[in-house]
Structure 1
Amino acid sequence: MGGAGFGEDGTGSARLRWIGIACLLVTTVGWGLNWPAIKFLLREWPPLFSRGVSGLAAAAILAVIASRAGERLAVAPQLLPKLSFLAFTNVFVWMGLGTVMMQWVTVAEGALLIYSMPIWSVLLAWPLLGTRPTIRTAVALGLGIAGTSVLLGAQGFDFGSDKAWGVAVGISAAILFALGGILNRTPLPIPPLTLVAWQLGLGCLPMLLIGLVLEHDRIGPLSMQGWLLMAYMTLVPMALCYTTWFASLRYLPPTHAATGTLLVPVVGTIGAALALGEPLGLREALALALTLSGVTLALRQA
Structure 2
Amino acid sequence: MTPRTAGLLLLLATTVNWGSTWPLLKFIMTGLPPLTLRAWGASAAALLLIALALAFRVPLGVPRGQRGRLVLFALLNVSAWMALTTVALRWLSASEGAILAYTFPIWATIFAWPLLGERPGLARWAGLAIGFGSMVFLFAGQGAEVSADKWPGVAAVLTAAVLFALGTVLSKRRPLTLPPFASLTWQMALGAIPMLILAPFLERPDVAAVTLPVWIAFAWMVVFTMGLSYFTWFAALRRLPASTATLGSLLAPVLGVIGASLSLGEPIGLRQVTALGGVLLAVVLAIGQKERRPREP
TM > 0.5 = yes
Determine if contact 2:138/2:254 at 8 Å carries over to the other structure.
no
Deviation at 1:96, TM superposition (A): 2.1
C-alpha deviations, 1:212-241, integer Å up to 9, x for none?
A: 11122x544311111111111112222333
Query: What TM-score, normalized to structure 1?
Result: 0.76
Q: How does 1:94-173 map to 2 (within 5 A)?
A: 94-128=81-115, 132-144=119-131, 146-147=133-134, 149-151=136-138, 157=145, 159-162=147-150, 164-173=151-160
Indicate the SS of the match to 1:190: coil
- Output the CA distance in 2 between the equivalents of 1:167 and 1:292: 26
Deviation at 1:41, TM superposition (A): 0.5
C-alpha deviations, 1:78-115, integer Å up to 9, x for none?
A: 42211111001111122222222333334344334333
Query: What is residue 181 of structure 1 aligned with on the other side?
Result: 168
Determine if contact 2:105/2:247 at 8 Å carries over to the other structure.
no
Determine if contact 1:49/1:207 at 8 Å carries over to the other structure.
yes
- Output the CA distance in 2 between the equivalents of 1:50 and 1:115: 21
Deviation at 1:175, TM superposition (A): 1.8
Deviation at 1:272, TM superposition (A): 3.4
Determine if contact 1:269/1:280 at 8 Å carries over to the other structure.
no
Deviation at 1:54, TM superposition (A): 0.9
Q: Which runs of 5+ in 2 are unaligned?
A: 292-297
- Output the CA distance in 1 between the equivalents of 2:228 and 2:144: 39
Query: What is the number of residues matched between the two proteins?
Result: 285
Larger Rg over CA atoms? 1
**Backbone CA RMSD of aligned residues:** 3.7
- Output the CA distance in 1 between the equivalents of 2:11 and 2:54: 24
Deviation at 1:65, TM superposition (A): 1.6
Query: What is residue 234 of structure 1 aligned with on the other side?
Result: 222
Indicate the SS of the match to 1:45: coil
Tell me: CA distance 1:57–1:69, structure 2 relative to 1, closer, same or farther (3 Å).
same
The one of 207, 217, 223 equivalent to 2:195 is: 207
Tell me: CA distance 1:125–1:19, structure 2 relative to 1, closer, same or farther (3 Å).
closer
Tell me: CA distance 1:151–1:249, structure 2 relative to 1, closer, same or farther (3 Å).
closer
- Output the CA distance in 1 between the equivalents of 2:251 and 2:67: 33
